[in-house]
A and B are shown apart, each in its own frame.
Chain A
Amino acid sequence: MKTKEILVVVTTALGTAVLTVVILGGGSLDAGNGADTPAAKIAKPKFVRQGVEMTLSAKGGATFKPGDQPEFELTAFNPTGKPASVSACVEMTAVSQPALTSRVVPMPATLCQMPESFTVEAGETKVFTIPSKTHLPPNQLIHVWLKDFDAPAKSSVAGTKSAVPTTKLILVQPFNGVMALSFSTATNAAPAASVASAR
């Protein structure tokens, strides 16, 4: 075979092989990249009581920074065929950055609890503005919960290692509620209040 003929074969083979890999291969060849993408999260966490579906958002889509007093919008929709009376609580908690050597985040501190009681007619949607009246601390991870309002508000202290609790600590994660919003007041973090990355 002449040199030129060999070159034609090799060049054609190379080009074909590359095209084949590009077209059929695709994706990453990194063995450990965990390229499978998790399923989409629930866009709007719902808290449901007596059939009434409640969701929470930052009022006006606001973003929050340290020192702000956040306002939230509670939307309650009653898809049932009868009126429903509901009591719910919006609770805001804060977690500080743990020490470098810490295994877990410290216990969150409750910043405020905002109870609401209302009646929603069958098929009706109501929207409430919930002012927190609480200044956001800096450099914290803030979670906003929708939960039952049947437990009295308890004070708690920031769960730092050095803090000696003066009152009884409570389990701040309310298993009878949902995390509706999550955002950070760290200076280098994305400030937009988003649907909860429930951590």
Chain B
Amino acid sequence: MRFRWHKRAGVAIGLAVGLGIVAATSHVRSTKVASGPVLSECDGHFRELVLQYEPSAREVVARTYRDFLGALEADVTVRVVCPTRAAYTSFLETAGPVRCRLLPIVAGHAMTTWSRDRWVALGPATNGGPTTLWSPRGESADEIWPARAGDERIGQDIAAAMYPAVFARRSDYYFDGGDFLADSENVFVVSRVLPRNIQQTVFSREVFLAALGRELRRHVILLDESPDHHAGMFMASVGGKIMLVGDPGLGGQFTPADAAANAGSGTNEFMDLPGGPDFSAETRHRFDAVAAQCAGAGYRVVRIPVVPARDQKTYLTYVNVLMDRQGSRRIVYLPFYRGCERLNAAGRAVWEKLGFEVRPVDCTDTYRHYGCLHCLVNVLERG
């Protein structure tokens, strides 16, 4: 019985230490943390934003990043997810001088440059609690698109780098972050999410929408008819129950006469829009349907010019924005496109009339890749 009490003491100490480690790390292992509602697009001041930078996309994003980051205030932190440390160095050279705080997250794998669609930020359930990044079950076409397969891991990468302030949670459902548009009351969902999930992850539309409501903690409004694109390409909730909805008819008024006249023939390539501008009745109807449904949901709808292309993916749009509130000031980071000065002015006028201070962001090099400013930047936290 030699050393009996020594062993007992050792066991007791070991148990205490072991249990302490288990307790301390239990919330690390568990990603089922309580979460609050999806972040509103139009309320609060920027605190933390997330970009993804892939050097192969440098020419696509350089001007946009310089304009946007250069205009951000010093109290904003921007996390830059990059595949390698060298890519972050390239990013710094691309971004130019900024006042905001830039911090790298090195992912160590392939990725695209499009941050918005990778996750949806769910705010803290309680004051001081963590933000949850709700990531889709899988990424579209990752079977044939290696960079998109890498995108699937971004939510986890960010959470690992920012623990315990951020957790990652994998959804049961397929979606892109851009399929949702949220304000302080509602979250609009584009209908393209349904065929990705009905009879795949859920049995019925009703079950799916109810699940979205529980997860996002907002009233879910499914758009019955809409353009086949992410919501932020054709609509923006600006606060005060006001919804901006793109209007191709208005867009046509500010498009050069020959581009508008030839639209539909497939013979002109105005602003490199594949097939030319699409001002067809069918396309205009889809945008009008969104406006009607928002009005039916109690929103004051304001129309704003948009020029969609006939490929249904390339847009000259003025709702793919980021909105920031600083006290009583409302600021919008608004895309503009070189070569479309009249259209740019018309889009800007709508925002200024609503009382926004406009900070223009050159998106001439991005729109040809089916997205703009809102698609490149995700918001992690607002004040």
Contact = CB atoms under 8 A, between A and B. Distances in A.
Interface of A: 5, 8-21, 24-39, 41-42, 45-47, 95-107, 139-141, 159, 161-166, 168-169, 171, 173-175, 177-179, 182, 184, 186, 189-190, 195-199
B344 to A, nearest CB: 21
B1 interface: no
Contacts of B137: 38
A36 B196 contact: no
Contact of B14 (A13, A97, A177): A13
B31 interface: yes
A39 B201 contact: yes
A31 B113 CA distance: 24
A75 B371 CA distance: 41
Interface string B217-260: 00000000000111000000000000000000000000000000
Nearest to A190: B143
A100 B14 CA distance: 53
Nearest to B224: A175
A31 B17 contact: no
Contacts of B375: 103
A28 B29 contact: yes
B184 interface: no
A22 B243 CA distance: 54
A32 B25 CA distance: 12
A103 B369 contact: yes
Contact of A184 (B3, B21, B144, B230): B144
B370 A103 contact: yes
Contacts of A19: 14, 18
B269 to A, nearest CB: 8
Nearest to A7: B6
Contacts of A8: 3, 6-7, 10
Nearest to B194: A175
Interface of B: 3, 6-7, 9-11, 13-15, 17-19, 21-22, 25, 28-29, 31-32, 54, 56-57, 60, 112-114, 117, 135, 137-145, 147, 155-164, 166-172, 174, 176, 191-192, 194-203, 228-230, 266, 274-275, 282, 310-314, 368-371, 375
Contacts of B160: 30-33
A98 B170 contact: no
B272 to A, nearest CB: 9
Given A16-B18, A178-B195, A103 B164 contact: no
A23 to B, nearest CB: 9
B156 A12 contact: no
A35 B29 contact: yes
Contacts of B170: 34, 36-38
B25 to A, nearest CB: 6
Nearest to A95: B141
B228 A171 contact: yes
Contacts of B112: 100-103
8 contacts: A16-B11, A16-B18, A34-B156, A36-B170, A42-B199, A106-B313, A199-B139, A199-B174
B174 A20 contact: no
Contacts of B7: 8-9, 12
